[in-house]
Chains A and B, each alone.
Chain A
Amino acid sequence: MLYKVLKLLIKTRFSPSFFVMIFLLIFYSIISLVDGGQRNISLIGSIYFGFIITVFITISIILGGVSVTKSDQEFLLVSAIKRRDMVLPLFFAQFLASGLLMLAAALVAIVELYRGSPLLIIALVDVVLLTLFSVSSGIALSDRPLYMRIPIAALSVLWILSPYLGFRYGAISFLATDPYYSLITVLPVTVLSLVGAALVLSGENLPFRVSGMRRQARDFRKTSTYAGLSPAIAIIKLGITQVSIASRSSSLGNIRATARRVQFTTFLYAFTIAAILYAVVVAKLNSSDSYIPIFSGFGFNIYALILVLYGGSAPQMMMSSGAMAYERAWLSLTSMEPGRYINTLIISKMLQAALAGIPLSAANIALHFIGIKGTLGAIPVFEIVSPFTVGVYLFMAFSVRPYQMKDENYIPARFSATQFIMVFPLFMFYGIAFSTMFYLPSLIATVPLMALVTALILTRQRYWERRVNKMVEAGFI
C-alpha cells in the first residue's frame, strides 16, 4: 500500500521533466566532485550557501504545511488507508517537491567548498539533515498560528547564522570549521523536527489540519476604493498598493496556495528598516578592504554587492508573483483588451518595484555622501534593473503556462521543468546588476538594451490576444 500511495502521489504531482531538471543540477554537483582540487571557501560561495539555507528554512517555517492537492484531501486522506501507510509517501512526496530542490541548489555550493576534502561526507550529511529539517519543520508546524511560527523562524535564522557571531555549533559552521561541530546541533534538531512531522502526518485529524491551516479574520481591516477611477488608474492603484502573496511554502519549490495580501506600505516600512540597518552596519564596518577597485576610478563596495545579491530581485519578484497567480481571465480579460490590461498590470508592478527600492537607494546615496566609496552602483540596480527584471518576470510568467490559484491550501499545479524557466530573469538580473556594480558606465550599454526589451514587452498587443487563447485552453480562467 505504501508503494501504491507513493506512486500515486508522484504521478499526480510531478512531471518527468521536473526530475530531469533536478537530476541535471545534482549531476553538475557530482561532476564537480571528480574535479579534484583543494578546499576553497570563497566569500561568495559561503554567502550563497547561507542564503539558500536561510531562505528555504525560513519560508518553510513561516508558510509551511502539509502540501497536498485538492484531490488528495477529498479522496486520498479520507480513504480507508491506515494513516501510518501514508506518512512516508506524504513526506517523501513533499521532500521531492521542495527538499530535493534545496538539496540540489545547496550541493552545488557545498561540493565546490569541500572539493577534494575528506570531510565532504560529513558536510553532505549536514546538508541532507538541514534539507530534511526544512521540509519536516514546515509539516510539524502545519496549522500553528503565525505568532508561534515567527519566533521559531527567528530562532532558526539565529541558529543558521550563529557561526558568523562566533558560535561554533551553528547550522552552517561547517563553512568555516570542522563539519562535526555543525552535526552536534543539526542532528538532534532535525530528529526532533522529523518526529514532529511524523506525528502530524500520522494523526487522525490530518484532513482537518490541511484544510484548517489558515486563521484569518473574515473582514479586511483596511480596504481600498476603485470607484470613479479610469481603467488604467484602477489597475495601477491595485498593482502598486497591494501585494498579493502567492506563497511557495515548505521551501521555495513547493507551491501551496494561500490567498494573502499585504499593503505595500508594510513592505515599504520593511525596506526602510532594512535600509537603515544596512546604512548603519556599512558605516560601522567600512574599511579600506570593503572597497574593491575594478577599472580606472571604478569599483564596488562589498557590502553594497551583498545587498544587491540579497535584496535586489527576489523580494521584488515575490511581490509580483501573486499578480499572475490571482489574476482572473474571465473578469479582467473580458473587460478590456488583454494586451492593454496585462501591459498596465506589468507597468504597475514595475513601478511598485522601483518604489520599494527607494529606501535602499537613499541609504546608498547617504553612504556615498559620508565618503563610503563604491555604493552608488546599487542605486540604478534598485531603480532601473529591479523594475526591469520584474517586467521580464511577469511577461514570462504570463507567457510560460501560468499557474492560477483558485483554491487555498492546496498545490495548484503539477511540478514541471517549466517552472525553472523563471530562473532566467534572476540570472539576467545578476548579469546586469553586477555589471552595473562593477563598472557604472556599463549602464550606457545596458539601459538602452533594457529600454528596448521593455518597449518590446509593452507593445505586444496582438501577442496577448493569441496568448489568452492558450492560457484559457490550459485552464487559466
Chain B
Amino acid sequence: MSGNEAGLNFSNACITAKEVWKKYGPNEALKGLSLNIQCGDRVALIGPNGAGKSTTLKILAGLLKQDSGEVLIRGHEPNTLEAKKMIGYLPEDASPYLTLSVRENLEYIGAIRETTNLAERIDMLLDLLELRDYEKSRTSRLSRGNRQKLALALAIIHEPEIILMDEPLNYLDIPTQERVISFLMKSRATFLVSTHIMSIAERLTSKCIIISAGLKVWEGTIPDLRKGEPVDTPIESIVARLMTNAV
C-alpha cells in the first residue's frame, strides 16, 4: 500500500510513521508513535531511557517490524530493498565484523551495498575518521573509540539519503566529534539522530522530537524549545521538564 492510499501526506516526506505500536512481550515500547520527517530535515530524537528511541530507529531501519501502524521510507516499507538502499543505520554500541580488518569491513559492506566509487569512498572515510593507520588492523583489537569510528564509516559508506544514528558520537574523542559533525553538516542527507546530549542535538540538528514512554510528547525546532524560557535556562532543564510532565 502506498502512502497516498493510506491517506497520508507524503508530498516531500522521507520518513513517515503513523500510529506505530510495538510490544516486547507484555511491555509496550511504542504506543501509537507518529512521525513525519521531510527530506533534508535534521532531526534529533530525544527521550529518557526506555522511551522507545532505539526501537523507533530499528523499525525505520527494517530490522524490527511494528505490531501495528504504518512506516514508510519515501513511500517504501523499511524492509524493502528500495528503502534499504536509501538508509544508513548506526545502532548504539555498534560492533562491526570482529574477524575482519578495518578495510575488509568497509570493502565487504561496500560490496554488498553495491557502492559506486567504493575505493575513493573508503579512502575518504579512512582519512576523515583517522583510521588510515588501522586499515589492516583486526577489528577485535581496536579501541572502543576506533570501533565506533569504523561503525560510523560503515553506516555511511554508501552515501545514504537517510541516516539513522543512535548516539553516533559515543566514545569518539573531541577532535573526531568535531570532524564528524562538520562532515555530516555538509551532507545533504536527512538525519534522525537519537541522543541524550543536547549540545550534540543543537549542533547536528535543527529540529527535535521528544518521546517518552513510547509516545511523542513534543516536536519543533530547537529555538522553539527555548521560547518563553529565561535566557539562562539550560536546554537540558527544559527538555527534562517536558519529559517529566509527559510522564
Contacts and interface: CB of A to CB of B under 8 A. Distances in A.
Contacts of B100: 238, 261
B108 A238 contact: yes
A244 B87 CA distance: 28
A185 interface: no
B61 A226 contact: no
B63 A329 contact: yes
Contacts of A466: 65
A192 interface: no
A79 interface: no
A84 interface: no
Contacts of B138: 216-220, 259
Contact of B95 (A228, A328, A337, A341): A328
A330 B94 contact: yes
A331 interface: yes
- Report, as a range, how many residues of chain B touch the other chain: 35 or more
A341 B114 CA distance: 13
Contacts of B42: none
Contact of B99 (A261, A335, A473): A261
Contact of B98 (A242, A326, A334, A341): A326
Interface stretch (A109-117, A229-237, A350-358): A229-237
Interface string A332-345: 11111110010000
Contacts of A460: none
Contacts of A328: 95-97
A341 B112 contact: yes
A393 B65 CA distance: 26
A331 B63 CA distance: 10
A477 B137 contact: no
Contacts of A261: 99-100
B75 interface: no
A71 interface: no
A50 interface: no
A334 B137 contact: no
Contacts of B84: 334-337
A469 B112 contact: no
Contacts of A253: none
A219 B118 contact: no
Contact of A227 (B89, B98, B118): B118
A296 interface: no
A53 B158 CA distance: 50
Interface residues of A, number: 47
Interface string B170-195: 00000000000000000000000000
Interface in A205-252: 216-220, 223-231, 233-235, 238, 242, 244
Contact of B63 (A233, A326, A333): A333
A477 B119 contact: no
B36 interface: no
B98 to A, nearest CB: 4
Contacts of A406: 95, 98
Counting chain B CB atoms within 10 Å of each CB, the highest count among A216, A228, A469 belongs to: A469
Nearest to A244: B99
Nearest to B24: A473
A477 B91 contact: yes
A473 B58 CA distance: 10
A465 interface: yes
A287 to B, nearest CB: 46
Contact of A229 (B61, B65, B111): B111
A218 B135 CA distance: 11
B52 to A, nearest CB: 14
B164 to A, nearest CB: 9
Interface of A: 216-220, 223-231, 233-235, 238, 242, 244, 259-261, 322, 326, 328-338, 341, 405-406, 408, 465-466, 468-469, 472-473, 477
10 contacts: A219-B101, A219-B136, A226-B111, A230-B114, A261-B100, A330-B89, A336-B81, A477-B58, A477-B91, A477-B94
Leading 9 A-B pairs by shortest Cβ distance: A259-B140, A234-B111, A259-B98, A226-B107, A261-B99, A231-B112, A219-B136, A244-B99, A226-B111
Interface of B: 24, 58, 61-65, 79, 81, 84, 87, 89-91, 94-101, 103-104, 107-114, 118-119, 122, 136-141, 154
